[in-house]
Structure formats: structure tokens, C-alpha cells
Amino acid sequence: MKKGFDAIKLLIIANGVLFAITFGMPGMKEQMFETLALYFPKNEHFRYWQFVTNMFMHGGFAHILFNMYALWAFGSPLEEMWGKSRFLLFYFLSGIGAGVIYILINYFQFDAIYSELVNLGISPEEIQKFLETGSYSDATFTLPETRLQSFYQLYNIPAVGASGAIYGVLVAFGISYPNSKLALIFFPVPIAAKYFIPILIALDLFSGLTGFSIFGGGIAHFAHIGGAIIGFLLMWYWRARHPSAS
């Protein structure tokens, strides 16, 4: 048990330390986000290491509290079963995979809007100016305001949080302990994990596709889905190779 708990304890401490530095030390918030959050690849602040470091950054106290509780609650049984090394491998692969899938989907959305603007006759220089400043001419940027706002946010707002990795952990927990009873805060009736987790992922997919989120704004729904996909693929692969070990 101790061997499994040590990995989760280390992750929680690392997240807590970076959170304390980001929000507790004067002048560090902007620098920490610019360096460690996951930016869109065309943004000047993007760095490849951000696919890892964004997993240790959070946007507020409720964000880190919920994620670390979920990591402890759903990750502890997996660590006890797998051991520290395998759990950490699963956790980081899920988190990195979540970031890659999130960026790929964002790139597709960004490119679609960029092409629309070019087709309207707007030069790349004007588009870049808009992305950097947020200012534009109503006479030329004739797309709906919501499309322009989405375009600007895709470029400028980075992704942070361990949620992608934790969704991978959730999937692994649901596969390993399918009949464990779980409950949502807004629907406090216990539901078996084999139903609860697919419902949660379906809600994220709905929110990602429609833009309507029952959990509030500023959530990287496709990162959640990406983590769940990677978690499922890892579980499928491990069970196919070592049925008795998963």
C-alpha cells in the first residue's frame, strides 16, 4: 500500500508546490503560466515541455482541490494494484496524450477559422495582429463575434490542469472496479463506475461539441476526452498482453 501511495503523494505535493509558487509569490503568476501552461503551437509562448508541465498547473483553488481529490480517490486503488512505476507511467501517458489530442482538435478548429478569414480577403498580417492584440476592423472581420472570440482564445488561452491524466485514471478505475458505486455532486444517487464514468465522458463530449457546459466555462473538455481515450487504449493494450496483471 505504501509503495502505491508514495507516487500519489509525490504528485499531490508537486502540484501543491507549483500552485503555491504561482499564486503565493508576488509577480510569479504570469511567468509561471507563460512557461509551464500548454499554449497553442503557433503562440510564441509554446514549448514542447508544456505537454508535461501543464499537468502541474491549475487555474484556481477549486480546480486543484477537485483534481487532487480525484487523483487520490481513484488513483490509490490503481497504485495498490499496479505499483508506483506502472501507475506513474499510466498517469503521464494519459496526461501527455490528453494534451496532444486537445492541441490537434484546437488546431483543426483554428485552421478552419483562419481559412475563413483568408477567404474574406484578410491578409495574414492583419490576422496575426488580431491574434496578438484582439483588435480588428468590423468592415473586414465580418465573421460572427463568437467565431472571432473562439479564434482569439484558441491562440491565446493555455490549457492547465491534471484533468486529462485524471480522466485516464477514471477510465482505468472503471475498467478495474466496474461495480464500485460513485455519485455526482449534482446527482447524489450512487451509480456503478461502469455507468458513471461513460456518462461523465459523454457530458464532456456534449459540452465540447456544443459549447454548453453544465460544469461552467473555461474547461478543456477535449483534453478530458483525450485522457479518457488514452487511458482506455492503455488498459486495452495492457490487458491484451498481460491479462492477469491488469
pLDDT in tens, 136-187: 887 788 888 989 999 999 999 999 999 999 999 999 999 999 998 877 655 6
36-43: average pLDDT: 97
Q: Which residue has the higher pLDDT, 96 or 193?
A: 96
pLDDT of residue 1: 41
Average pLDDT, the chain: 89
Give the separation between CA 212 and CA 156, rounded to whole angstroms: 21
Distance, C-alpha 241 to centroid of its chain: 28
Q: Which residue has the higher pLDDT, 207 or 20?
A: 20
pTM over cut 0.75: yes
Beta strands in 105-232, from DSSP E residues, in sequence order: 181-184, 187-192
Checking if the pLDDT of 121 tops 50, the result is yes
Beta strands in the chain, from DSSP E residues, in sequence order: 181-184, 187-192
Instruction: Indicate the burial class of 45 (C-beta count within 10 angstroms; 0-12, 13-18, 19 or more).
Output: middle
Checking if the pLDDT of 7 tops 70, the result is yes
- Tell me: domain 2-245, CATH 1.20.1540.10, correct? yes
> Model confidence at 201, in pLDDT bands (50, 70, 90)?
confident
pLDDT of residue 2: 45
What would the pLDDT profile of 136-148 be if each residue is shown by its tens digit?
887 788 888 989 9
Q: Which residue has the higher pLDDT, 213 or 112?
A: 112
Which residues, 6+ apart, have CB-to-CB distance to 131 below 8 Å?
Answer: 151, 152, 155, 156
Q: Which residue has the higher pLDDT, 43 or 135?
A: 43
For residue 67, give Cα distances in angstroms to 16, 52, 95, 105, 210: 11, 16, 13, 23, 24
Output b/e per residue, 205-220; b: 16+ Cβ within 10 A.
eebbeeeeeeeeeebb
The phi, psi pair for 41, rounded to 5°, reads -55, -30
pLDDT of residue 138: 78
Q: Which residue has the higher pLDDT, 197 or 17?
A: 17
pLDDT of residue 240: 81
Counting residues of the chain whose pLDDT is more than 90, the rounded percentage is: 70
What would the pLDDT profile of 205-245 be if each residue is shown by its tens digit?
887 777 766 666 667 778 999 999 999 999 999 888 776 55
53-77: average pLDDT: 95
pLDDT of residue 213: 67
